[in-house]
Structures are given as C-alpha cells and as structure tokens.
Amino acid sequence: MLERLVVGLGDRAYPIWIGHGILDRLGEALQAVEFPKKLAIVTNSAIADHYGELVQQALVDSGFAVSIIILPDGEEHKNFITLQKIFDQLIEQGFDRSSGLLALGGGVIGDMVGFAAAIFLRGIAFAQVPTTLLAQVDSSVGGKTAVNHPLGKNLIGAFYQPRHVHIDVATLATLPNREFAAGMAEVVKYGVICDREFFNVLSEQREALCQQDPEALIRVVKKSCQIKANVVEIDEKESSFRAILNFGHTFGHAVEALAGYGAYRHGEAVAIGMVVAAEISRRLDLCSQQDVSAIRELLISFGLPVDPPTYSVADYIQAMQRDKKVSEGILRLVLNRGIGDCLIQEVPGLDALLTDTLKAGISRG
C-alpha cells in the first residue's frame, strides 16, 4: 500500500510517499527527483542500528555513493555543537554543492539536517526519511529547519524545503510507546484546528492506531500530511496563515524551555499547550466546556499529559515572550473556535487568563 502526495510549491514542489515497508524503495524515489548521487545519511545510533544498513543498501543498489554520519540522540543535542559535527564530516569527506543529505530519524535529526543543508555551501539538497510519528505527520513536511538556543526552542533556523519525504509507517514498530503518543498530539492538533470529522475519526480509530494497524496509520498520516501541505502551500514562510499549525506550541515550547529540553517530549508539551489554549478559548467564549473536555479526553486516551507543570505564571509569560510568533513585542495565540476551526489573535489580559487556567489545571490534576 503506497500513497503519494505533492507539496505544491511551484519549482520547489516535492513528493511525499507514505506506505508500509517501503524503505527499500527509497533509491527509486530519490532517482525520481534527480537527487544528487553523492549523499550522506545523517542519523543517530539508535536509528542506525534499526535502519541504517537497510537504507544504505537500498541507496547503493540504486547507484548512490553513500556515507553515514551518526549524531548523539536527544533534544538536548539539537544545537550548534552537534551541527558543527555534521559540517566537520562533510568537509572532511569532500562534499560539495552537487552533494546531498538524507535525514533518517525523528524531528531532531530532520530539523538539524535540514538546517545543515540550508547553510552548508549556501544550500545543498536534502531529503527526509522520518522514523517517528511526530516527524512523519509534522516536522518532515513544510521546510521548517532549526536548532535550539538555551533561551528558546527553534530560535535559529531557516525555511528550506526537502526534495522528497519518504514515510514508512513500519518504522513506528520500533518506536517507544511514549514517542508514539507524542506524535499523536500533532495528529489531534490537525483535527482541532481544521477538521472536526478527522477529530472524530481519531476517537473512533484510537484502538487501531494504538495497535499500529498499517492501513489506519497510513490513512491518518496521509490526512495529517495533506492538511499540513495545504497550509504550507498557502503560506510557506509563516507570514500569517501557517501560524495556525502552532496551536498548543506557544505554551508547549514554554513548558519545554522551563523544564529543560528532553524532560518533556515535544508532543507531550504540545498536548499540554493545546489544553491550555482550549481553556483560554473557552474563557473567551470561542469554544464550549464540552469542546475542551473532548480535546482533553482524546489526548489522555492516547497516553498524553494534559496538565501543566507548576511553574509561576511570570515564568510562563517570560518564556512565551521569546516565542517566534512574537511580533513587535506582541504575542498572538492560536485559539480553537470549537473543534475544526481556529483563529490567531492577541489576547488582552493574558496574565490573568493564564493564572485562572493554570489554577484550574492544577486543581484538576
């Protein structure tokens, strides 16, 4: 079963292949987009153990000259120090502008490899082979690349589109349960902001998804990628509309920064952020308590945390003010309008709203 989508960005359009057991077709897919013959697979040790040899052999069989760069695993390594390790090996191995990079792994690998490709020799080709659900439905599509700064997540990066995205849902079989749940947070997000019917499908298909039924996974991943592709095609560089994809992320990024990167998985922090955003939306009469409860319960059903850690409102506000969506000192939040729609707006009296929301979360937790 192989599904295909195209992210329609004119001369920078690229295909997304989604299937089960399709890693051995990666060479075929890269040939179809005329990917450079000399490439480096960039991954971490855990992913290399599972899929490194298979991917490398598939590429060699298709005529590619392949080397492997192995990076340390974890969000805490998504920084300039690790980025420098990529550049060191590329330079030592004589990579030039006619070479390419392949990101094999989760969102951390994908973001760093994309950023490395964007700035090495002022830009070389790269492709995404995401092996986590979070990366498959979110970070591998759309061209956002970045590394973290100690004061904020993804503050240093670039918009740089891949040549191809190759999604094999079979790789999720080796994913820890916690990582799979983290990916489902982004899937739920798409339902909340864009498609109530999809939100309902996720509830109905919860058991099949948790059991990683291939057909259910492919359908859900394809729908998620299609929603994101539709948004990116309208607003590639997040000048306005694309910011809706950050629902739950402003508060979620604050959770990650305050707790220390790695304490919460990105999807876990986003799940908490979505519930906080929904609570604020309810207080602004944009959604009902029933909507908030439905979002909360669906996230919990996938094993996700929904209550914020107990930092002060002042700490949260300070961390949120470092968010990339702050413009001219004004923080705008993505808020859900019921389930299936959303808007972006400045929130007057955010301190008081957040105080009440956090108190409610703590008492419920």
**pLDDT value for 362:** 43
- CA neighbor of 225 nearest in space, from 196, 180, 181, 183: 183
pTM given for the model: 0.91
Decide if 144 is catalytic: yes
Q: H-helix or E-strand containing 138? A: none
What is the predicted pLDDT for the residue at 328? Answer: 56
Q: Which two tokens stand for residue 321?
A: 């003010």
Q: What angle do CA 184, 148, 26 make, to 5 degrees?
A: 55
Q: What is the pLDDT of residue 363?
A: 41
Active-site position among 163, 249, 282, 283: 249
Among residues 20, 163, 164, 253, which one is catalytic? Answer: 253
Residue 246 appears among annotated catalytic residues:
yes
Rounded CA-CA distance 140/164 in Å is 10
Do residues 363 and 306 lie in contact, with contact meaning Cβ atoms separated by under 8 Å?
no
First to last CA, the chain: 42
132 is in an annotated binding site: yes
Specify whether 12 is catalytic: no
Task: Compute φ and ψ for 86, nearest 5 degrees.
Answer: -65, -50
Under 8 Å between Cβ of 273 and 251: yes
- Least Cα distance to 135 among 184, 65, 77 occurs for 184
Which one is catalytic: 44, 148, 166, 186?
186
Residue 22: per-residue pLDDT:
98
Task: Tell me: is residue 172 an annotated ligand-binding position.
Answer: yes
Going by the DSSP 8-state scheme, the letter that residue 97 receives in this structure is: T
DSSP state of 309: -
The CATH number that domain 2-174 falls under is: 3.40.50.1970
SS3 assignment, position 45: helix
Per-residue pLDDT of the chain (365 residues; tens, 9 = 90+): 899 999 999 999 999 999 999 999 999 999 999 999 999 999 999 999 999 999 999 999 999 999 999 999 888 899 999 999 999 999 999 999 999 999 999 999 999 999 999 999 999 999 999 999 999 999 999 999 999 988 877 889 999 999 999 999 999 999 999 999 999 999 999 999 999 999 999 999 999 999 999 999 999 999 999 999 999 999 998 888 999 999 999 999 999 989 987 789 999 999 999 999 999 999 999 999 999 999 999 999 999 999 999 899 999 998 888 765 666 567 889 999 999 999 999 888 888 889 988 877 544 44
Q: How far apart are CA 17 and CA 2, in angstroms?
A: 7
Residue 256 designated active-site = no
CATH topology of domain 177-364: Dehydroquinate synthase-like, alpha domain (1.20.1090)
153 is in an annotated binding site: yes
Looking at residue 297, what DSSP letter applies? H
- 254 closest CA partner among 315, 173, 178: 315
d(CA 130, CA 358): 34
d(Cα 5, Cα 226) in Å, to the nearest integer? 7
Active-site residue 186, yes or no? yes
Hey, where are the domains in the chain? 2-174, 177-364
